[in-house]
Amino acid sequence: MASNDSFPDSSTIARDILNRYRQVYRASRTAEPFLRYGRRTVAVSTIAQQFYCEKAVALSFERPLAPTQDMRDGSTGHEAVAALGVPMTQEEAVTAAVAAREQPLCLCEFRIGWQHHTGVTVLGHVDEAWFREGHVEIVAERKFSNSRGIHLPYHIQASLYCLGLGEMGFNTGHTLYRISVLTRSCHDCGLLRSGGCPALSEGIAHFQCDHGECTGQVFPFEHETTSRRLDWALQFWINEREAQPTEHTSRCRHCRYRRVCDAGSR
């Protein structure tokens, strides 16, 4: 569904959003697995990785490897921040997101799912999103990396969360997204776990302490660009084209699939 600016009453909106989400979710469990690798759905995080190197995504399905320590640290960091939220059912979360309120409400690990026009179901969990009366004010995405850059896959992931929330029925006409990049050492920080790290505050562009460092930036969500990028990514999943190796050959030097990838020796 496209973004819109006017909303009817909140219980009707919540019911519509929940019904749509449940239909998509149910269909994703029972539909014929028509995607590559026998899959029925594609995760937002996987689509974002396609913009780092799609060939590496393909190889991760064809020759799966155990997660590295850096990957495990990133997951631990995400879990630490997610644990700050109050557990809610999807019904409670959607009802709270559309309820009348003056101040926006923060919801963590918000489950999203929608069917793109190509027929592919996309699923994900939004790290953090702020809602007010059905409007999505801002989506926050956190990454744990020792590279300070805000790379394209981060934009893709956060933008897809915005797109998905709009497809579910929330108003994303003026949605922003914030990307925060924390150093890997932040993953086991006590201040982060307790919610006391200033890096979690909106409006903090840079924060450094003895333990780590965080940079953050806010961007406007662009519906058309995001939808076009999703079209491209899904072409791979519906077998319209083969996996594309990254154009950035420097990425190959650190890639775990370098030895088995035909593009790895460039």
Chain positions contacting ligand SF4, by CB under 6 A: 53, 55-56, 59, 245-246, 251-252, 255, 257-258, 261, 263-264
What is the smallest separation between the CB atom of 187 and ligand SF4, expressed in angstroms? 24
Amino acid making up residue 196 = G
- Residue owning tokens 């969500």: 221
Nearer to ligand SF4, 21 or 237 (CB): 237
Q: How many whole angstroms separate alpha carbon 156 and alpha carbon 133? A: 26
Minimum distance of ligand SF4 from residue 258's CB (angstroms): 4
Q: Closest approach of Cβ 49 to ligand SF4, in Å?
A: 10
Give the whole-angstrom CA distance, residue 189 versus residue 103: 29
- From the number of C-beta atoms within 10 Å of its C-beta (0-12, 13-18, 19+), residue 11 rates as exposed
Q: CB 63 → ligand SF4: shortest distance, Å?
A: 10
Between 42 and 53, CB nearer to ligand SF4: 53
CA 160/CA 56 separation, integer angstroms: 20
C-beta separation of 186 from 192 below 8 A: yes
Contact present, 169 and 156 (Cβ < 8 Å) = no
Decide whether 214 or 263 has the Cβ nearer to ligand SF4.
263
Query: Considering the complex, what minimum distance in angstroms separates the CB of residue 36 from ligand SF4?
Result: 16
Nearer to ligand SF4, 130 or 237 (CB): 237
Burial per residue of 171-205, b for 16 or more beta-carbon CB atoms within 10 angstroms, e otherwise: bbeebbbbbbbbbbebbebeebbeeebebbeeeee
Of 53 and 123, CB closest to ligand SF4 = 53
Q: Which two tokens stand for residue 73?
A: 């640290």
Nearest approach, Cβ of 233 to ligand SF4 (angstroms)? Answer: 15
65 vs 209, beta carbon nearer ligand SF4:
65
